[in-house]
Chains A and B, each alone.
Chain A
Amino acid sequence: MKIQSAETERHVLAVTVDNEPGILAKITGLFTARGYNIDSLTVADISTDHAISRITIVTNGPPQVIDQIEAQLERLVPVHKVTDLTAAGPHVERELALIKVAGTGDKRVEALRVAEIYRANVVDTTTSSFVFELTGTPEKVNSFITLMRELGLVSVGRSGVVGMMRGSGGA
């Protein structure tokens, strides 16, 4: 007998929640308890009185599972609203990365040139290293990191995706 698996799709969910203790554990625990995937998760409070947080979750699963994830999230009392940005239509996805590269000579020059092409900012430098700050889609960040591997990549920190609908309405 084999363990079965199904075709999956990637979805970005924007979730607004009451900013109360345990809410993050509730949400991440829901994913583990029900066997859903989390590719990335970001959270920060977004209201002046710190009462509301917005969580962006990137997940993947078969369409029925994605629908269940949204329904199960909506069942949580502190959850106000779940928006499936992927299903809702055109939206922007951005991620921030800090990338440290060490090296001298040609490699150092090349790293800086590539950074310019990607519009990455230098936020720290020594004579033998840079820390780049890069904002973009996950694909852009991935491809930058791939190039930096050849040029002395030391470490990477990524924020995970935040997303928002295009246009004047929606989440």
Chain B
Amino acid sequence: MAQQSGAALLMESLVRQEVEFVFGYPGGAVLPIYDELFGDERIRHILVRHEAGAAHAAEGYARATGKPGVVLVTSGPGATNAVTGIADAFLDSIPMVVITGQVPTGLIGTDAFQEADTVGITRHCTKHNYLIKDPADLVATVEEAFRIATTGRPGPVVIDIPKDVQIAVPSKSRANPNAGAHRYAPQMVAPADQIAEAVDMIANAQKPVFYTGGGVINSGPRASQLLRQFQDLTSAPTTSTLMGLGAFPNTHPDWLGMLGMHGTYEANLAMNQADVMVCIGARFDDRVTGRLDAFSPDSKKIHIDIDRSSINKTVPVDLGIVGDCATVLEQMIAAWGDRAGQDLGEWKARIAGWRARECLAYPERSKANPQAIMPQKAIERLYHLTKDRSPIISTEVGQHQMWAAQYFGFDAPNKWLTSGGLGTMGYGMPAAIGAQLGHPDALVIDIAGEASIQMNIQELGTASQYRLPIKVFILNNEYMGMVRQWQELTYESRYSNSYSDSLPDFVALAEAYGWKGIRIEDEGDLDAGILRMMEHDGPVIVDCCVAKDANCFPMIPSGAAHTEMLLYGDQVEGTMDDEAKALV
């Protein structure tokens, strides 16, 4: 048999990895690979409209299915356009393999046409990256790249392939094509003594709390099952970060809601007052901890994380356990045996007191536009009308994202796709496209803001082309609302450049792309509009015009402690000292 070219070897390797979709955009430096894709039925190429869209679509696919997302882009601008999505996947621990074309090896370093130092640019926003110099290395590299992307703490891996390497045949025969194949071996199982110590601490706690995060989702659906099982044994009140929503059911009586900057009063106070905190696959992000020296001051802390660098990074813990969430939870359940645990009645009564504060009860009417739909209301209705279909929700970034986290309920993992770490506006629509491809029959909704949606608006065309019936539900407040809210709190309402001027007519825009467009202006039309959106079996934009002045509470201002939460009804307009202003 004739020897295969680099491009052909790449295709075979992708097929071996059971890749269903490649999200990509062609260009000079990847033409040999595109030629291999031509007519190959085994892998479906999804042509996006911008490479950032490809990366976010791959992220959405990965988060919704648990499988790695695959991206293919050309050299230079193709690669640099994808960088935002790569950095996003890095911060949110999303498994992704990105194949970038590169100028031929002989031209590297000469400022050749469409040359960019992709390996250099992506070095610190990938879990690992490669420049392939010989087709002989391709098969082993792709194999290792997928293993690195998907095991341990997941993340993006870039494989940069010069054009001549795509065309050439392997030049050398490798004695061991899998050299170094086992150099990356994350620790999954925790030592038994640590498990025993953790179980003792939890069993003796009077005021325990489970603080769960994206690591539970990363660990696979079994981790969510085991979390529920372990919670059932211990009956510990449970909260989650933005990234972990869905791992624990929102309908459970011990569910506290999300914690952190826009978390619930009861979740944040339970964290503050707990005597034993069990962090399961979360990373003590600054949105979660608030002021560090006031964060859960009296608790003994246990941290379960597969990445040892997450442990003691910002918050020192009493017991750090390196391991995989599902595996460690299983070990803890076994070690728990038939213990009874403490009577948590008193603790739960205090929590019930905090719950009674009803921190998510928002003002019924906006001061500035009393007629307008309250955005929180819109999310509540969207949740109630769609929940029977167990929808997949993606978001953009801003107030609408936080309202979605607060008012939409999630009771299963992999249903919630959001950009948490990087906070990338423009993430939501491409992510919805990726999720819809992975789950063709699911109801997939991007909850968007009118500013964010414009950042990757070109992807309307991708959904049209592949007949993906995604829904984009825009909470249109005519402001970069999150920015406006911070300006109100910190800069005495000087709204510098946060007004969304010259907005397109979103209904007309939808129609221009062959989508359905629906505008909702009156609360009376809210339910009907949502139902019309759901009934249409193609893509829909809903332009839901909401109150322009609504703010998102509760809120822990930057640099404040959990006990200094701002709630609806608090007077918040003002300014802050420089120390607080310096925080993000």
A residues with a Cβ closer than 8 A to B are 1, 18, 21-22, 25-26, 29-30, 33, 64, 67-68, 71-72, 74-78, 80
Contacts and interface: CB of A to CB of B under 8 A. Distances in A.
A1 B309 contact: no
Nearest to A1: B578
26 contacts: A1-B577, A1-B579, A21-B131, A22-B119, A22-B123, A22-B129, A22-B131, A25-B120, A26-B123, A29-B124, A30-B124, A33-B124, A64-B312, A64-B316, A68-B312, A71-B307, A71-B308, A71-B309, A71-B313, A72-B309, A74-B309, A75-B309, A77-B148, A77-B183, A77-B184, A80-B183
Interface in B163-190: 180, 183-184
B128 interface: yes
A75 B187 CA distance: 12
Interface residues of B, number: 23
Contacts of B582: 1
A48 B127 CA distance: 29
A64 B312 CA distance: 7
B177 to A, nearest CB: 16
B219 to A, nearest CB: 18
A1 B148 CA distance: 43
A29 B122 CA distance: 11
Contacts of A33: 124
Contacts of A78: 183
Contacts, number: 43
Given A64-B312, A67-B312, A18 B123 contact: no
Nearest 6 pairs of A and B residues by beta carbon: A71-B309, A1-B578, A77-B128, A33-B124, A71-B308, A72-B309
Contacts of B312: 64, 67-68
Main secondary structure of the interface of A (DSSP, over half): helix
A33 B128 CA distance: 15
B454 to A, nearest CB: 31
A17 to B, nearest CB: 10
Nearest to B128: A77
Contacts of A26: 123
A22 B123 CA distance: 9
A82 B524 CA distance: 64
A78 B126 CA distance: 13
A25 B128 CA distance: 13
Contacts of B307: 71, 75
Contacts of B127: 77
Given A33-B124, A76-B128, A77-B183, 4 more contacts: A18-B183, A25-B120, A30-B124, A71-B307
